[in-house]
Structures are given as C-alpha cells and as structure tokens.
Amino acid sequence: MENQLEREISYGEKAVGITFNPGNSDEVYKVKALCAELINQMNDLRLATRNSEQTRLGSIAITELQTAQMWCVKAITWQD
C-alpha cells in the first residue's frame, strides 16, 4: 500500500477511495484495487470514444462498480 502514496493515484483509485481503509485490511484493499482497475478501463474507454452511447454505458459501469465495491467492503467488514 505504501507504493501508491508515492505516485498520483488513478481515476479508478480515487473513485473507490483506495486510501480510505481505517482497518488496514488487505482484503478491503484487494477489492478496491480490483474494482479500480476495471473503473480505469471503463474511464479509458469513455475518453477514447466519440460514441455517446458507449460513453453512457461506460459511466453506468463505473457507477455499478463503485456500488459493488462498497457492498464488497461491507461484506468483508461485517461484524455480528
């Protein structure tokens, strides 16, 4: 996790809040990093296309990935 602080974080990492992990959980970091990678891919697609529908679909995918990431973190950190 230290390496990411030495460089500017990506759009996807910002979108998932990669630096917010109060419990310093490796599992939370892993989920956030995987979702950030997919978000980066969709953001690159949005930036590369001139097709408005493709841009819209990429934006929806980003939103849904952020939602999935939050539910994953909730599941990982669930305590009875």
Q: What pLDDT digit, counting tens, does each position of 2-51 carry?
A: 454 578 999 999 999 999 999 999 999 999 999 999 999 999 999 999 99
Residue 71 has φ and ψ, to the nearest 5°, of -65, -35
Name the pTM for this structure. Answer: 0.89
Beta strands in the chain (DSSP E): none
Report DSSP state, residue 79. -
Q: How far apart are CA 64 and CA 59, in angstroms?
A: 9
